[in-house]
Amino acid sequence: MLGFAKRIWSAIRRPSVHYSLGFLTMGGFVMGIIFWGGFNTALEVTNTEAFCTSCHEMSDNVYEELKPTIHYSNRSGVRATCPDCHVPHEWTSKVARKMQASKEVWGALFGTINTREKFLDHRFRLAQNEWTRLEANNSLECRNCHSEESMDITRQSPRASEAHERFLFTGEKTCISCHKGIAHQLPDMGQASLMGGHASEQVLTEYLATE
Amino acid sequence: MIKIHAIATALVFALSGVAFAQEHVATLRGGTPLAEQGDVPQIAKRVNSDLRQVRNYPEQPPLIPHKIDGYQIDINVNKCLSCHSRAAIGDSQAPMVSITHFMNRDNQFLASVTPRRYFCTQCHVPQSDAKDLVENTFVDVDQVLEYVAGTKAGDN
């Protein structure tokens, strides 16, 4: 093994005997285009809704739930596809997300959520992953389309404009803090939804432990 | 013979009655013949004013003065309570769910909304600007009392 590596290394170190410098540079250039183009094309293919919904886990559960929501059907016909919200648009973060997605490939291969029941069991955790991600990047994927600057709150309902003025423009909350479950159904939120997110779970468990 | 006549007459009346009903009873499709496609009415707009509306009688469940499109109310989550629950109204400034909704059927107050009052839209409904299909002659209790007081005054 070590000998093989040494032979390769010495071959690389020596100047080329048979090929001209022009051939090698041009060849390297062309191969570079082919490899880079191929990589990027493959990356973009995995970044389409057709690719996402080619697995039944996605097409039967979350995609079906998306269809009646405003992000799929609405008056103007502009719609969000899966990667618009779930994959960062900026290159570095996109590749980072794609690397994380290898876990999803693992899940698809071993059928982690290959039935509706399994999916529902995992749903809270999966949703929480997305909420955490969007909380952390200040709802970047929402803001790729919905910009604060272009949001004319005089055209919103009084309820919406007041909420946006109080929480969004002050930076107190981010889109996902209030707009959970707008594109897919929510998992069992338990008491959290009844309490408006005020009760700390730790405080509660500590209190119950004293009984 | 007379009996047969009577039955025949009754039958004629009954049949013409059916025909009369078919011509004059208003249906949702209006007066358009069955074989034709009538004018499709505009879909009424939801009232989204966020202004509380007057109740027609004190026990009336308050109307929802805003859109509730896509609000999820099921075993997992109740979207309405994300603003109207006891703890959420500080942020939302929405009216809190009535305390009667915390009461179980033994009149015990629970910590949060009881299961029997959990499904908001069973009683609370949003409104649209649709034209009434039939005329509404509802009179509220104040008008009734005024009327009664008026007639009593007339009696004396």
pLDDT one-digit tens code per residue, A91-117: 998 999 999 989 999 999 999 999 999
State pLDDT tens for residues B85-137.
Answer: 998 898 889 999 999 999 999 999 998 899 899 999 999 999 998 888 788 89
In this structure, is residue B36 part of a structural domain? no
pLDDT of residue B36: 85
Mean pLDDT of chain B: 83
Average pLDDT, stretch A107-136? Answer: 91
B96 CB-near residues (< 8 Å, 6+ apart): B84, B85, B86, B89
Categorize the per-residue pLDDT at B75 as very low, low, confident or very high, splitting at 50, 70 and 90: confident
The values of phi and psi at residue B94, to 5°, are: -90, 160
In this structure, is residue B59 part of a structural domain? yes
pLDDT at A78 over 70: yes
State the residue for tokens 């959520």. Answer: A113
The interface predicted TM-score (ipTM) is: 0.72
The 3 state secondary structure assigned to chain B is: CHHHHHHHHHHHHHHHHHHHHHHHCCCCCCCCCCCCCCCCCCCCCECCCCCCCCCCCCCCCCCECCCCCCCCECCCCECCHHHHCCCCHHHHCCCCCCHHHHECCCCCECCCCCHHHCCHHHCCCECECCCCCCCCCCCCHHHHHHHHHHHHHHHC
Q: Which chain B residues have a beta carbon less than 8 Å from that of A197?
A: 87-88
Q: Which chain A residues have a beta carbon less than 8 Å from that of B72?
A: 181, 185-186
Categorize the per-residue pLDDT at A135 as very low, low, confident or very high, splitting at 50, 70 and 90: very high
In this structure, is residue B18 part of a structural domain? no
Categorize the per-residue pLDDT at A85 as very low, low, confident or very high, splitting at 50, 70 and 90: very high
Q: Which two tokens stand for residue B98?
A: 């009535």
Quickly list H helices, A48-157. 49-52, 56-57, 63-66, 82-86, 91-100, 102-110, 116-136, 140-143
CATH of the domain at B155: 1.10.1130.10
Tally of structural domains, chain B: 1
B77 min Cα distance to partner chain A (Å): 6
Rounded (10°) CA dihedral A180, A183, A188, A189: 10
Categorize the per-residue pLDDT at A1 as very low, low, confident or very high, splitting at 50, 70 and 90: confident
pLDDT at B11 over 70: no
Lowest mean pLDDT among A120-134, A153-167, A181-195, B49-63: A181-195
In this structure, is residue B131 part of a structural domain? yes
Contact A181 B72 (CB under 8 A): yes
Provide the number of CB pairs (under 8 Å) joining chain A to chain B.
Answer: 64
State the residue for tokens 């618009």. Answer: A84
| Residues belonging to chain B | 156
Q: Which chain A residues have a beta carbon less than 8 Å from that of B73?
A: none
CA distance A200 to A206: 10
Average pLDDT, stretch A32-57? Answer: 93
Helix axis angle for A91-100 and A102-110, nearest 10°, is: 30
Residue A145's SS3 state is coil
Residues of A with CB under 8 A from a CB of B: 68-70, 157-159, 162-163, 167, 178, 181-182, 185-189, 191, 193-199
B70 CB-near residues (< 8 Å, 6+ apart): A68, A69, A70, A182
Nearest chain B alpha carbon to A164: B92
Choices 3.40.50, 1.10.20, 1.10.3820, 2.40.50: CATH for A23-72+80-143+154-174 = 1.10.3820
In this structure, is residue B58 part of a structural domain? yes
Q: Which chain B residues have a beta carbon less than 8 Å from that of A163?
A: 92
Q: Which chain B residues have a beta carbon less than 8 Å from that of A187?
A: 76-77
Which residue range is the domain that position B140 belongs to? 45-156
pLDDT at A191 over 70: no
Residue pair B119/B73 in contact (Cβ under 8 Å)? The answer is yes
In this structure, is residue B96 part of a structural domain? yes
Categorize the per-residue pLDDT at B76 as very low, low, confident or very high, splitting at 50, 70 and 90: confident
Q: Which chain B residues have a beta carbon less than 8 Å from that of A122?
A: none
pLDDT of residue B2: 52
Question: What percentage of chain B has pLDDT greater than the value 70?
Answer: 79
Between A210 and A185, the more confident residue is A185
Give the angle subtended at the CA of A179 by the CAs of A170 and B112, to the nearest 5°: 100
Q: Which two tokens stand for residue A160?
A: 């919406």
B86 min Cα distance to partner chain A (Å): 7
Categorize the per-residue pLDDT at B24 as very low, low, confident or very high, splitting at 50, 70 and 90: low
Residue pair A181/B72 in contact (Cβ under 8 Å)? The answer is yes
Backbone region of residue A181 per phi and psi (left: phi > 0; alpha: psi in -120 to 50; beta: other values):
left
Contact A157 B72 (CB under 8 A): no
pLDDT of residue B41: 78
In this structure, is residue B97 part of a structural domain? yes
Average pLDDT, stretch A131-138? Answer: 92
pLDDT of residue A198: 44
Give the angle subtended at the CA of B96 by the CAs of B95 and B97, to the nearest 5°: 120
pLDDT of residue B23: 56
pLDDT of residue A195: 42
Helices then strands, each counted (H, E), chain A:
14, 0
Mean pLDDT of chain A: 88
Question: In a mutagenesis test of the B interface, which of A67, A194, A201 is the best target, namely the one with the most B β-carbons within 10 Å?
Answer: A194
pLDDT of residue B5: 59
Sorted by where each begins, the domain ranges of chain A are 23-72+80-143+154-174
Out of B66, B82, B93, the one facing A196 most closely (by C-beta) is B82
Between A63 and A199, the more confident residue is A63
